[in-house]
Structure 1
């Protein structure tokens, strides 16, 4: 019964990844194009060139910041919404999930207008005398991070919401009735049950942030490159497809290593805390 699904998975995902990995080993010549010669030259160039190392470092930093902010904002939002009455719960849940219903290009262009020197954000801050001159938000890491958090928070909310639906309110009430404080009940009863949702949401947010293209490209511009935009430039501007494929493969492998490593580390840390 799983044969058709496995076939689709292999055809639509594993086969393109395998072809990309093979392409990344081809040697590229500026005059003759892609050569039928295989080498690790592209990977050596990525790991030996400070330009690419800086891009990977910037991407990792941005993804980590976005993930932390989504946890800080998304978890309390989900808990608050889950305790609202039915009508208001649906309204606020729709508001939070609204960014997913809008095209990424339209959403990013909207943020670029808001963050401009004459945008609504700067005008509002200057109107209340919070700042004396416009803040530079567009084409900066701060602006890209804000826009990324806006679209990634819904993924965190969805993941934590799924865990909250399995939470029995009577267990929390039992802890309170036995004399535990709200903080202790949350730390020892609620948080351990939310942890799988937080971890899965963090993995989704980090992976999507690290591979995001449209938002960093439109808000970051040419000067603030991330891995996805660097691979795009290699494919379409310099036409160095093997180097672009190598960048994509390194991003995929780095994503897997970071996600699996952080997942295991966090699970061990929380397990030791809760058991202690």
Structure 2
């Protein structure tokens, strides 16, 4: 009886969180899924009570959407890779810092998160624009202006800037569990620094790297502000196409279908990556 009573109390205590989870996540997603099957007519709009698979058929057969999804995922993958290359060494250096420098640099890493993504996007547009500071410096040195704004370069650069803290923090958290004496022991037994990093440090930080890559990839693939402001009208990604379908075309079912497809593909990629990395991590530990 006491076990049943404790279980019931646990469900009761979890009820507010479950209600928020259902009301703010599950219900909107379910409504979006239902909307994606509605019939749409440009003369009368969404036809409630009529159902079709036309939106998903368009996604599968139209090469335009293939291009949008391919661009979105290769940009997201490249942003994730750059965040790993930059963020993991930075997290390692941060974990080896002493006080007060560790706190100072940790604050510097987290400070950009306090600034709106839109503000940061406008800041990058001021730097990368045709009359931006970078092109002004190039012209002052006698060079010709370079087109950087409204290119994949601008989107990738800004996304790396925005997403980097989401890579550094999980890796830094994993490194906090690593005993520095393990590295010293490996070095004293004749291992090189490269061997220590590969065989001692890297296996320990893989959970943090996995968490960081999943967060960065998911946020990059669904990012709207950066592609919308720095990619312009020509360099579209999935989130900007969803926006166009909802507010420009007023084709809500098509926008909902694209959003559902993005969610499902994102989940598939992330679950596959999670299984791959976890499998290699367990294999490296000899499990």
Whether these two folds match at TM > 0.5 is yes
2:233 alignment partner, SS class: coil
What is the rounded CA distance, in whole Å, between the counterparts of 2:285 and 2:228 in structure 1? 42
Instruction: After TM superposition, give the deviation of residue 134 of structure 1 in Å.
Output: 1.6
Question: Which residue of structure 2 lines up, in the alignment, with residue 161 of structure 1?
Answer: 172
> Cα RMSD over matched residues?
1.6
User: How do 1:102-113 and structure 2 match up within 5 A?
Assistant: 102-113=115-126
Instruction: After TM superposition, give the deviation of residue 62 of structure 1 in Å.
Output: 0.6
Question: Which residue of structure 2 lines up, in the alignment, with residue 118 of structure 1?
Answer: 131
Instruction: After TM superposition, give the deviation of residue 273 of structure 1 in Å.
Output: 5.8
Question: Which residue of structure 1 lines up, in the alignment, with residue 230 of structure 2?
Answer: 219
Instruction: After TM superposition, give the deviation of residue 118 of structure 1 in Å.
Output: 2.3
User: How do 1:51-62 and structure 2 match up within 5 A?
Assistant: 51-62=64-75
Whether the aligned pair in 2 keeps the contact of 1:188 and 1:274 (CA below 8 Å) is no
What is the rounded CA distance, in whole Å, between the counterparts of 1:118 and 1:273 in structure 2? 51
Q: When the two structures are superposed, what TM-score results if normalisation uses the length of structure 1?
A: 0.95
Are residues 1:14 and 2:32 paired?
A: no
Instruction: After TM superposition, give the deviation of residue 128 of structure 1 in Å.
Output: 5.4
Are residues 1:24 and 2:27 paired?
A: no
Selected match of 1:148 from 143, 159, 175: 159
Whether the aligned pair in 2 keeps the contact of 1:77 and 1:157 (CA below 8 Å) is yes
Q: Relative to structure 2, which stretch is displaced further, 92-101 or 187-196? A: 92-101
**Contiguous gaps of at least 5 residues in structure 2:** 1-12
Structure number with bigger Rg: 2
Q: When the two structures are superposed, what TM-score results if normalisation uses the length of structure 2?
A: 0.91
Question: Which residue of structure 1 lines up, in the alignment, with residue 106 of structure 2?
Answer: 93
Whether the aligned pair in 2 keeps the contact of 1:25 and 1:42 (CA below 8 Å) is yes
What is the rounded CA distance, in whole Å, between the counterparts of 1:55 and 1:93 in structure 2? 36
Are residues 1:76 and 2:93 paired?
A: no
What is the rounded CA distance, in whole Å, between the counterparts of 1:17 and 1:238 in structure 2? 21
Deviation string 1:70-94 (CA, Å, 9 cap, x unpaired) is 0000000111111112111122222
**Contiguous gaps of at least 5 residues in structure 1:** none
User: How do 1:112-261 and structure 2 match up within 5 A?
Assistant: 112-127=125-140, 132-261=143-272
Return closer, same or farther for 1:161/1:57 CA change in 2, 3 Å cut-off.
same
Instruction: After TM superposition, give the deviation of residue 264 of structure 1 in Å.
Output: 1.4
Instruction: After TM superposition, give the deviation of residue 272 of structure 1 in Å.
Output: 4.7
Figure out how many residues of one structure are paired with residues of the other and give that number. 274
Deviation string 1:162-189 (CA, Å, 9 cap, x unpaired) is 1011111111111111111111111111
Whether the aligned pair in 2 keeps the contact of 1:227 and 1:251 (CA below 8 Å) is yes
